[in-house]
Each structure stands twice: as structure tokens, then as C-alpha cells.
Amino acid sequence: MKNKKEKKKKLNIRILSVSSFVIVIAITLTIVSNIKEKEIIKEAEEKTLETFASITNENENNEEIIVVEKKQPEINSKTTDWNLILVNKENPIPENYQVELKNIEYSHKVDSRIADSLSQMLQDARKQGLKPYICSSYRTINTQTTLYNRKVNQYKRQGYTSENAKIEASYWVTLPRTSEHEMGMAVDIVSRNYQILDEKQEETQVQKWLIEHCTDYGFILRYPTDKKEITKINYEPWHYRYVGVENAKFMKEKNFCLEEFIAYLKDFE
């Protein structure tokens, strides 16, 4: 009996220890699988983060491209601004263009919006002991037509055909409706001591001062010698066009003639 009891006891102990072992294994397995699961989750989370990061990068890149497309001009001006209306051989004065004129020196008239700047420029030049003299300002369409025809006839007398005479004349006197003088936005200024309209004008003290300072008053020398190919007008170191101080200074800094400045602004519009 005693043996039987002892055997049973031993069997119980074995069963107990085996079950304990099984439980321990089970717990260990659970822990291990938990750890693995956590690792898998962590890995997945990391992957998700990576994907998110790459998406974020893509977005940033896209945004950068959009930023490039939306690049702003370095100046806050529009081609439709009143002081930037482009008038040349290809761009006649807009139909029904209205101008309010104001008298300046002698019988000269200009657009009333530029009169004060022009007067100030001339006054400051005179303070330097210079003698600037306006020889042409606002012109009616009739005056422009007369000047143009006179130039065409001058070339015809020199033996040019009618067609060629018109082409040559257009380099000096713009066709009616294509002159800034007809808008009241331009003036021809010469030295009182030298009133001939030729390239020697630029050697006068008056032109030297005006060429250097005109932008401070919102004016540009409209037909520079190095821009003839673009303006299609010969060098005129006496024709000043008003564009506003900010525009004039910007154009000077960039070495833009008006055609180039308008093309620059159009790229952003």
C-alpha cells in the first residue's frame, strides 16, 4: 500500500512538473510571440513612417515646382499701367486714347500726370548751371503726319523710291499714331547751346546730366544706341519718355529698353 501511495505521489509530482514545464513553455512562447508581434508592428510602423516621409518629400518637391511656376517679377508693375503703355511701330496708340494735357514751358504741353516730374527735372538741371530746352512735346496726329511726310519727301529728293523713303523716314520720325509724343508721354530736350538733333547731342553737358539723372524723375532715354535693333529707331539722345521713378530705375539697373521691360513683365502675366 505504502508503495502504491508513494508511486501515486511520484506520478503526481511528475504530472505537476510536466504541467509546470508546459505552462512555462506556453508562457515563454506567448512572450516571444508577443515580442515578435511587437517587432512586426514596429517594423510596419517604421515602414509606414518611411512611406509617409517619402510622400511628404514628394509633396515638398511638387510645391517647390509650383513655387517656381508662380515666380513673381522683381517689380510690382503691370504692362497695363498708364505709364507703361508701349507705343511703337507694331503697337499704335490704343483707339480712343484720351489725354489730359497740362502746359509746361512756353507753349509746350504734356500729359498732366508727368508735368510736375518734368518741371522738377528741368529745374534741378538749371540749378547745376545747365540750359536744357524742350524742343518738342505733345503732338497732335496732324503734326505727326506733317513731320513724317516731310521726312519721307526729304528721302525721296535724295533719290529713294517711295517705299524705301518711308522705311528710312520711319527710323527718324515714327508713323502717325505710333509716336509717344502723341500721347503726351515724351519730350525732346536739347541743350540751348546746341539744338541740332544728331548724335553730338550726347556730348553736351545737358544730355550728360539728363542721361545720368533722368531716372530719378521717372524718365528714360527711350532710344539708346545699343537697342536700335529692338526699338527700330535710331539713337536719339534727346527723346525722354516718362515711365515712373520705380520703373525707370529698374530698367536702368537691368539695362532694359521699354520693349524688353514689357516682354519681361509679360512673362509673369
Closer CB to Zn ion, 77 or 204, in the complex: 204
Shortest distance (Å) from residue 60 CB to Zn ion: 53
Q: Report the SS3 class of residue 62.
A: helix
Amino acid, res. 204: T
Taking phi over 0 as left and psi of -120 to 50 as alpha, with beta for the rest, 108 belongs to beta
DSSP-derived secondary structure for 197-214? -SGGGGGSHHHHHHHHHG
Tell me which residues in 180-239 interact with Zn ion (CB under 5 A). Answer: 188, 239
Taking phi over 0 as left and psi of -120 to 50 as alpha, with beta for the rest, 132 belongs to beta
Question: DSSP class of residue 267?
Answer: T
Has 236 been annotated as catalytic? Answer: yes
Q: What is the dihedral of CA 182, 183, 185, 190, to 10 degrees?
A: 10
Closer CB to Zn ion, 165 or 185, in the complex: 185
Reported as type and span, the H/E element at residue 230 is helix 228-231
Question: Contact letters (x/-) for Zn ion, 151-190, by CB under 5 A?
Answer: -------------------------------------x--
Pick the catalytic residue: 236, 246, 260, 269? 236
Shortest distance (Å) from residue 192 CB to Zn ion: 17
Closer CB to Zn ion, 188 or 216, in the complex: 188
Residue 241 in the binding site for Zn ion (CB under 5 A): no
Shortest distance (Å) from residue 215 CB to Zn ion: 18
Tell me which residues in 103-122 interact with Zn ion (CB under 5 A). Answer: none
Footprint on this chain of Zn ion (rule: CB under 5 A): 188, 239
Active site (catalytic) residues? 236
